[in-house]
Amino acid sequence: MLLCIVIMIVNSPNTNKDPLIRWGRAQVAEALDEQKSRKVSLAGLAREIGIPRTTIQHWNLRTKSSDLPPEMVAFFESTVGEEFLHRFFVSMMFDLHEHGNTSLRSLSDFLKKTQLDRFISSSKSSLERAAQDVECSTIQFADQENERLSKLMPEKNISIAEDETFPNGTCMVAIELRSNFILLERMVPDRKTVTWDCQMENALKGMPVKVIQSVGDEAKSLVKHVKVGLEAHHSPDTFHIQQEVTKAGSAQLKLKIKRDTENLEKLSKKTKKLEKKQMILENLEKKPKGRPIDYDSQIAKAVDLERDQTELIRVAVQRNTDFHSARLSISEIYHPYSIKSGLKQGAAVIAEKLNAAFDDIENIVNGTGNAFEKRITKARKLVSSMEATIAFYFATVAMILDQKGYDERTRMLLEDFLIPACYLESAASKSNSKEEAIDMRYLKKELMAEYDSRAGPFRMNTPEELQDMLNTARDCSAVFQRSSSAVEGRNGQLSLNYHNLHRLSDRKLACLTALHNFDTRRDDGTTPAQRFFESEHGNLFEYLLENVKRVGRPRIRSALKRAS
């Protein structure tokens, strides 16, 4: 045991003048434990280890100079206590600082309040070095795992979402939609097509994947990158379409209701004022000379004006309701399978329904102004792209089924029952309406009834064949992607990090990407990396425990000052 300690101390880093760091905290704790267990003198231990006796005296001085309870000091100076301090500190930096964005100043105060600053250096410079070490180790882990898992993952086609965000420059973000794995997240000098092509080429290097679809906005450089650079299908983002429609009419229609309501309040006040004057006149004992004012006629006219204004408000409210119903119908229509019946919707049918919805919207916003009508025209131009996306979806599904080599009966079961059911389940999980989600899940249950009971046409298949059919149905249903909400949400997180830190360095950004891919988990316990590579990866936290340098102790003069 003692020989091992000698070897460890001799080989320990010798980059700091502080003897406790010079010889390594773990080695020091183990040497002192050895001294206590064997009851070796300081001089004897110094000779065996081969270090000056004063160094060991310096180690013991720390334990005696503390004002903390001896039991606490003994624990944290032992090997077990040293391991606990290391795990605690790495966990604090990993979860509170990197994940939780807790400031180093707050962490320093935290260590002081828990009195752990007696054993762990809590200075700003020490915490900065530790944070940098954690970030570099996290990035190193991600790079190693990405390279290793890329060689193990199966070849597959993927759909992604791409967008730019602007925290402290231009940051390109690309996410694989099914797994939520971040493929690209990097600061770039510009957002030109050639930059997108170069960054995505580097991001996909070594991965046996083919991008067949990208969801995003209609930025010309991004669209060209998808169609030419990736040779993939560009799908319009439903959010941006609805956003254009909302900007075209929502504010104006609400403003019309507000102004009409204000006018009604003015007319109502005028009517009440006339009624009050009439009442005062009627209560006078001595009537004024001259021709009496015809308050009855004026009040009748004021009441008629109020009635007309109330009707205007009713019409304005109805227009606003119809507008939002038509706007929401775009999202309800744009599905390859009807969310009401589960039946297949062809591209031409969906285009016809979308055009009818835009006709209603145009009729409602007619007269609000050219600027708002232009927004509707801009959004309507994307109907052809939405139609093309539906056609692309069904063509891709047909290709997948062809590659599987299913017979006609199995193919019919997939197309009529399993794929629509899997799609409805996916759509229900993303729905904002609880009632709508319940209806879709009930419809999905009806479509899966014979599959679940192994009855009807499904009774002819073996359990292995049925499981394979279900997996294929899930793969097919996941092909349709109509929203880049994943990348929009990521952009929001980057914005919050930027506001917290005031800047995002390349190292910090790479660390945030690694944390997302390898340490965020869904309810099923899987990380984006597990879902994307379809393989288990190493434990990031355990890797940090092994690779992050042990934090130094506080300076001895600081410890003595606290003790005095």
Please give the average per-residue pLDDT across 385-398, as a whole number: 96
User: What is d(CA 45, CA 32) in angstroms, rounded to the nearest whole number?
Assistant: 9
Instruction: Tell me the pLDDT band of 552, cut-offs 50, 70 and 90.
Output: confident
Please give the average per-residue pLDDT across 116-132, as a whole number: 90
pLDDT of 386 higher than 70: yes
Cβ(482)–Cβ(389) under 8 Å?
yes
Please give the average per-residue pLDDT across 387-397, as a whole number: 96
Please give the average per-residue pLDDT across 46-53, as a whole number: 64
pLDDT digits (tens, 9 = 90+) for 160-209: 999 998 887 899 999 999 999 999 999 999 999 999 999 999 999 999 99
pLDDT digits (tens, 9 = 90+) for 453-501: 998 899 989 999 999 999 999 999 999 999 998 998 898 888 888 877 7
pLDDT of 418 higher than 90: yes
SS3 212: strand
Please give the average per-residue pLDDT across 399-406, as a whole number: 93
The strand pairing partners of 260, in sequence order, are none
Instruction: Tell me the pLDDT band of 332, cut-offs 50, 70 and 90.
Output: very high
The strand pairing partners of 214, in sequence order, are 160, 234
pLDDT of 564 higher than 70: no
User: What is d(CA 257, CA 367) in angstroms, rounded to the nearest whole number?
Assistant: 15
In the prediction, which pLDDT does 443 show? 95
pLDDT digits (tens, 9 = 90+) for 230-285: 999 999 999 889 888 888 888 888 998 999 999 999 999 999 998 888 888 888 87
C-alpha count within 13 angstroms, C-beta hemisphere, residue 73: 16
Contacts of 153 (CB under 8 A, 6+ apart): 207, 208, 209, 532, 533, 534, 535
In the prediction, which pLDDT does 479 show? 95
Instruction: Tell me the pLDDT band of 65, cut-offs 50, 70 and 90.
Output: low
The pTM (predicted TM-score) of the whole model is 0.82
In the prediction, which pLDDT does 9 show? 42
What is the DSSP secondary structure assignment for residue 337, as one 8-state letter?
A: B
In the prediction, which pLDDT does 55 show? 64
In the prediction, which pLDDT does 50 show? 61
Task: Calculate the average pLDDT of the chain.
Answer: 86
Contacts of 378 (CB under 8 A, 6+ apart): 244
pLDDT of 559 higher than 70: no
